[in-house]
Amino acid sequence: MLHVLESDQEMLRDTTARFLDDKVPLSRLRKDRDDPAGFAPEYWTNGAELGWTSLLVSEEDDGGSVSGRGAVDLSLIAYEFGRHAAPGPLVDCNVVAAALAGRSGDAQSTVLAGLLDGSLIAACCLGTAPWQCRGEQTITIARDGDDLVIDGAVRPVEAGAQAAWLLVSGHGGTGPTQALVPVDASGLTIMPLRTLDVTRRYAAVTFDKVRVPARHLVGDFGGAADAIARQVDNAAVILAAESVGAMDAAFAMTLDYAFDRYTFGRALASYQALKHRFADLKSWLEASHAIADAAAEAVADSSPLASETASAARAYIGQYGTELVQDCVQLHGGIGVTYEHDLHFFLRRVALDAVLHGTVTDHRRLLAAARIGQEKAA
Amino acid sequence: MSGGIESVDDFRLRARAWIKANLGPIQPFDASQNCENDEIEREAVARDRALQRQIWDGGFAGICFPPEYGGLGLTPAHQRAFNEELAGHEFPSRFTVPTFSPCAAVLLEFGTPEQKAAHIPAILKGDEFWVQMLSEPGGGSDVAGATTSAVRDGDDWIINGSKVWTSRAWWADWGLCLARTNWDVPKHQGLTVFALPLHQPGIEIHRIERLSGETEACQEFFTDVRVPDSDRLGPVDGGWTVGSRWMYFERIGHNSPYVTRPVGLTNPEAEGPSAISIARRAGRLDDPVARDLIGEDRTLEIATHALQNRIAQAAASGRGNVDGSAVDRLFRGIARVRRATIEYEIAGPQAAAWTEEEDHASGSTGMRYLMRQVSCIGGGTTEIARNVIAERVLGMPRELSGDKGVPFRDVPRGPKRA
């Protein structure tokens, strides 16, 4: 998280932090382990009132940021989500809201309005992604008169079973295509999955000749490549900041443990072998803060390096965030792998965040392609 | 600005006009101080002296140095403006570090008026190159454990011992030297700093050949070197106070306000060919494994810059711990090591054996790999950075030391022999 915040940003962060402390303490999350949704509906609508889903949407479209840099503001919320291991589809709802902002169409505006007031949830079905090569796409979208016909499958989809609408990205023959699909469409199967996470829910979504009217297109048929890239950048900003929050929480509790836990008559914190490990973790943590903030700022400012910085944040934090929390487990010893201890909430968080909306490898592929593209252009 | 100081904008315009009229484009030996052979290096040194003299004659030397010692008495913002205008132009690179900073900076802070009058104008006119003699063969990280001794003899001091890793001492003029003047007090309390001419009887300068074949670093051997007390810098046994500021200026390096250096200068030799160009040369641009490594390399590059900015912003806002720079030092060292490894992996066997024509493209990748640990050793090891982070940033207990509160004479300096 940034060292220096504007006072409005600090208030936004602090309000969410206090709300999460109150509504979803870890004791509550333990109890909701088997709850199908993982949170109560009013939790999400109250959160929407705090601005959770409106920061990437401009004021003309009924959203609004606090600083004029929505991605930076949202990264503060995401950081608190990570620090609290909070439930709720923060990534997907924001990504879909930003994708729909400024689009015409009834379905588009209905979904956007529902996302902004928290009354509905929408999920991303990324069946074609910028890092994929030809033949790797898992969803196709075809035109048939005034209809679109969607086939294929995507998994895992966050809050797939809680969503009312899906933003589906698929290969449209001439190029990437996006459309909104209601979850009651015929031919659509949504199957809840088991998951590593105890606070968030995932589903497998299958499309078998699902038909929606062509007016459900988001953007032009075959022309959604840039829009999808922006969505991947937005997801990266949220996921990176969220992971940093989880890393901060895990590191802080491990640092406390190092001072409190004595062995062979000395605190763990007095052993140089462990001090050096903590120093390494601290350097990963600071670098993760730095690159997550750099990504949020670059995306907020639509910098030419926005996508590269966002992917670098995912590639770095995807690797070192998980390593950091795993090392926190190691430094705790046996207690670190118990359900009773709090550490696992953060381990689950970084482990999931590292593989959603592009893995470390996927984002490295994107970075390499960007570099090769820059060389060719030069 | 009050007090009649020229505004930064006016200064910038004047600097721009003078630079355009007097300085040519940047030369290869400005970006890298390493020369192909000694003869070329001597030419480069002579040219840097002349260029510094030209800047002095043009009235732009020593922008942040006090006017009473030949400087302009302006602010870091003026220096910054000059450095920005200097972008793309030739400049006397060999004066930047260590002559202007840390050496001249330490002279300004601790020198007597006579010492400053003797050396600061000479430095600004291009007459004196300085080096720093800090490390010793027996102690790398433990700077305060110096054993080079200085013994009082009338109005003089007699210096014996050896200093090492002194960059380019073989052609420099003067050096700062940290020596032990009192063995009966704990180590930090018995040190004194001296200034001495490098080329005089009693000083032997050896070149150290690194495994890459490069020989810029030197080792000096002192045998009964006589230094007048008037060349002592700071109080007797007060050397650690001087040394702490000295090392501060060493850490900030080119960011010191005393350094004139074009902004945005990159060192092609230090950076070497990009991961992409290495992959292209190896015919691996479409190889998914190579692309993964290219992506990892770029990730570390972006993360390094982002962390540097974060730590600078923290320092500027007063929110950061002063020892936060150790986090940057550790990260940079480890990231550079990994990037050198990535480049070697992408290059494959051609970085291990190459033709003369491939020296820059392939040979440098292999050599950077062999020399990769330098980024975790030079300028304070990553192990010391880890101690600093653990103890001063995270507040963990200090390591036990064998020299705390003990007269330096009694500090163990080797294994006990039966």
Q: Could you tell me the CA-to-CA distances from A52 to A44, A230, A354, B61 in Å, in that order? A: 9, 19, 22, 55
* C-alpha–C-alpha distance, residues A252 and A259, integer Å: 11
Say yes or no: domain B273-393 is CATH 1.20.140.10.
yes
Give B-chain residues touching A316 at CB under 8 angstroms.
299-300, 302-303
Tell me if chain B has a CB within 8 Å of the CB of A252. Answer: no
Closest partner CB to A278 (pick from B295, B307, B390): B390
| Span B47-94, pLDDT tens digits | 999 999 999 999 999 999 999 999 999 999 999 999 999 999 999 999
A282 in contact with B at a CB cutoff of 8 Å?
yes
Say yes or no for a CB contact (<8 Å) between B330 and A280. yes
**Token pair belonging to A160:** 């797939």
- Asked whether residue A236 falls in the same domain as residue A104, the answer is no
Note whether residue A184 is domain-resident: yes
**What is the pTM for the complete model shown?**
0.91
| pLDDT value of residue B72 | 97
> ipTM of the predicted structure?
0.95
User: Using alpha carbons only, what angle is made at residue A203 by residues A199 and A205, rounded to the nearest 5 degrees?
Assistant: 160
Tell me the percentage of chain B whose pLDDT exceeds 70: 96
B187 closest CA partner among B415, B412, B416, B414? B412
A172 shares a domain with A251: no
Element at B276 (helix H, strand E): helix B275-281
Touching check for A214 and chain B: CB below 8 Å? no
**A119 has pLDDT over 70:** yes
Low-confidence winner among A107-116, A242-251, B317-326 (lowest mean pLDDT): B317-326
- A371 and A330 share one domain: yes
Burial class (CB in 10 A: 0-12, 13-18, 19+), B215: middle
CATH placement of domain B8-94: 1.10.540
Q: Are residues A291 and A231 in the same domain?
A: yes
Of A210, A225, A240, which one is at a domain's C-terminal end? A225
Count of structural domains, chain A: 3
Tell me which range, B139-143, B246-250, B359-363, is most confidently predicted by mean pLDDT.
B246-250
Q: Which of B285, B300, B396 sits opposite A275 (nearest CB)?
A: B396
Is A85 part of a structural domain of the chain? Answer: yes
Which of A4, A312, A371 lies closest to B294 in CB terms? Answer: A371
Q: How far is A237 from chain B (nearest CA, A)?
A: 14
Residue keyed to tokens 């015929």: A186
Provide the CATH number for the domain around residue A99.
1.10.540.10
Expressed as residue numbers, the domain containing A63 is 7-117
Is B317 in Cβ contact with A367 (below 8 Å)? no
Do A186 and A104 fall within a single domain? no
Residues A298 and A185 in one domain: no
Contact B309 A290 (CB under 8 A): yes
Closest chain B CA to residue A266: B397
In words, the CATH class of domain B131-255 is mainly beta
Q: CB–CB of B177/B130 below 8 Å?
A: no
For B98-109, give the secondary structure using H, E and C: HHHHHHHHHHHH
Same domain membership, residue A200 and residue A129: yes
Q: Closest Cα of chain B to A255: distance in Å?
A: 8
Q: Answer yes or no: do A315 and B291 touch at CB < 8 A.
A: no
Chain B interface includes A272 (CB < 8 A): yes
Mean pLDDT of A100-116: 97
Task: Identify whether the C-beta of residue B166 lies closer than 8 Å to the C-beta of residue B175.
Answer: yes
Domain CATH for A176: 2.40.110.10
